[in-house]
Structure 1
Amino acid sequence: MSFLQLLLIAVVQGVTEFLPISSSGHLILIPKLTDLPDQGPLIDVAVHVGTLAAIIVYFWRDAWGLARGGFASVGIGTAPAERRLFWYIAAGTVPAVILGLFLKTGGYLEGFRSTTLVAVNLIIYGVLLGIADRVGRQEKSFEDLSLKDAVIVGLAQALALIPGTSRSGVTMTAARFLGYTRVESARFSFLLSIPAIAGAGLLAVLDLAEATAAMQRDALIAGALTFVAAILTMVFLMNFLKRASMTVFVVYRVAMGAALLIFFT
């Protein structure tokens, strides 16, 4: 795989993973809109791991709090608030883990690489994001997280395994319906993604060990480039949401979905 293709994939992933416009959907579109070969699911997971590293670095205080909560849960240290947060995030991760394992072991993931599916989901979940952002109150912060809210947003996250949905988009949609502010919805979404993406990355390591040297090199390069693009995107998004609504993302999703339906169906 050429460096230019790896760079394109990394930039697309790094930008679209955090903007609520569906990273998996855009990754699927790269070979369909260009003459480039399909990068395959291994590269897709590698670039997701690159975004995971960016989340941990950008939200290092929150990530460290989650780690402390995990240690406290097994008797190492005392951090009751962090321990509670750790278990809430764990509970919110369960739905995506169960559905992800089911889809992977059943061989259903390849069947999702459909332009029509991406287009329809871009539109449907884009409209839902717009509704949630308009009617949702802006009163809750991440510190107000409850077990019920964590599970609800976790169930929404599981839907993002279907391309075009957008993991960040659907979890922010759920959080906004629950009354979290735009900035806190994004923060909630990104932290909830840590164990989910880490789990997918762990499975990818097993596949990577069996891959050719060239595929291993491509995966590492793509992951590293994605990390840089993701950090820059998070800085932009967290500042953007302090002063603007989700409308621009809703318009983009609906327009992109409509265009795909027109040109590819």
Structure 2
Amino acid sequence: MSAPDLSLGLAALLGALQGVAEFLPISSSGHLALAERVAGLEAGAGGHSFNIVVHAGTLLAVLIHYRDDLLAIARGVLRPGHVPKSMPDATGLSGHARSDSQGHAVSGSAPTDARALLFALVLGTLPLAAALAPPVEDLVIAAEHHPRAIGVCFLVTAAMLGFAEWRTRRQHRPQEVPRPLQALLIGLAQLLAILPGISRSGSTIAAAMALGLGRLPAARFSFLLAIPAILGASLKEAIGLMKHGLPAADPLAFLVGFLVSFVVGVATLRVLLVLLVRVGVLPFVPYLVVLGLAVLALG
């Protein structure tokens, strides 16, 4: 996206799209790539810098929503001899619905071990190192310029969500925190999301649910795992921009994109958690199937 082409209205639209698609398991990268293509915008330094800004907005939404979990983990790092093991439950909601439509618990009413969660997050982050390999970067760049590849990835996300929902409906005692091997597998699922069209939240929530976590603990682990992923990707993009020079851009458009992505992200995250409690991830499957097939047909 060329920075001079970024009007305030388009910045707000793309910020809202990022705020919705980052949290709903439908792939923000895939939707942004398609939206920019439909709008006739060219990828470039301005687009990369704007993407950093709107991702920062959704990152702030995660930090605020899960602040109690992050504080508990921070106490474990800073005061290891005095950290309480109990974590906030996985809802982040106001305490109303805590079971799914079949009456099964989907959030953890039992205390979560903060140290176990921190260890799982560290393990889940390790596979991201593979994203730095040049062949992987080349694959991502190629996929961004081929709509049909994005369409296939939408269908892959749909398949993962459908399988995860099928698996989780057969579980009677869901876990709160993934075990070490499970955390690594969820991290590998997150690595797949470097491809546009494969949802980061969708792949990690689906993997966590398929491996035995309840819906809301899976969402919590997914979004906490997003923090180092988004920070790392943003830092990498920022370093690249500084090496090649910052593009000419309207600071107000960037501010609008940031604020809209943050506000919409906060609201969307809460909506997603309520949906997970009530209906699970299955409603997103037909949307992704229709979108994926449409992109394949039109691409």
The two structures have a TM-score, normalised by structure 2, of 0.79
Q: Is the 8 A contact 2:178 2:208 kept in 1?
A: no
Which of 102, 106, 111 is the aligned partner of 2:133? 102
Distance in 2 (CA, whole Å) between partners of 1:30 and 1:64 is 37
Q: CA RMSD in A?
A: 2.4
Bigger CA drift: 43-52 or 252-261? 43-52
Match among 64, 69, 86 for residue 71 of structure 2: 64
The residue that corresponds to 1:175 in the other structure is 208
Pair 155,87 (structure 1): closer, same or farther in 2 beyond 3 Å: same
Would you say the 8 A contact 2:158–2:284 is kept in 1? Answer: yes
Q: How does 1:113-128 map to 2 (within 5 A)?
A: 113=144, 114-128=146-160
Using the TM superposition, give the Cα deviation of residue 250 of structure 1 relative to its aligned residue in structure 2, in angstroms.
0.5
Q: Distance in 1 between matches of 2:281 and 2:136?
A: 36
Which of the pair is proportionally richer in helix? 1
- Where do 1:1-265 residues align within 5 Å? 1-38=6-43, 40-72=47-79, 78=83, 81-96=113-128, 98-103=129-134, 107-113=138-144, 114-136=146-168, 137=171, 139-142=173-176, 144-207=177-240, 209=242, 210-212=245-247, 214=249, 218-264=253-299
How much has 1:188 moved relative to structure 2?
1.4
Distance 1:151 1:15, change over 3 A: same
Residue 106 to residue 251, structure 1, CA distance change in 2 (3 Å) = closer
Tell whether the 8 Å contact from 1:10 to 1:223 is kept in structure 2 after alignment: yes
Number of paired residues?
260
Q: Which amino acid aligns with 1:94?
A: L
Quick one: percent identity of the two aligned structures? 34
Structure 2 residue identity aligned to 1:236: V
Secondary structure, counterpart of 2:278 in structure 1: coil
Matched residue type, 2:133: F
* CA positional deviation for 1:4: 1.0
Aligned residue type for 1:11: A
The answer (yes or no) to whether the contact 1:69–1:84 under 8 Å persists in 2 is no
Structure 2 SS opposite 1:214: coil
**1:45 Cα deviation (Å)?**
2.6
Relative to structure 1, the CA distance from residue 33 to residue 228 in structure 2 (aligned partners, 3 Å threshold; closer, same or farther) is: same
Gaps of 5+ in 2: 1-5, 86-112
Cα offset for 1:59? 0.9
Contact (CA 8 Å) 2:8, 2:252: kept in 1 or not? no
For 1:103 and 1:223, the matched residues in 2 are separated by 29
2-side partners of 1:19 and 1:107: how far apart? 27
Residue 199 of structure 1 aligns with an amino acid whose one-letter code is G
Deviations, residues 83-133 of structure 1 (Å, cap 9, x unaligned): 44222201111102x122224995554222121111001112211210121
2:270 partner amino acid: V
* Residue identity in the other structure for 2:284: F
Compared CA separation, residues 109 and 217, structure 1 to 2 (3 A): farther
CA distance in structure 1 between the partners assigned to 2:189 and 2:252 by the alignment: 34
Larger radius of gyration: 2
The farther-off stretch of 157-166 and 58-67 is 58-67
1:84–1:128 distance in 2 versus 1, CA, 3 Å: closer
Match for 1:34: what amino acid?
A: A
> Which structure 1 segments of 5+ residues have no match?
none
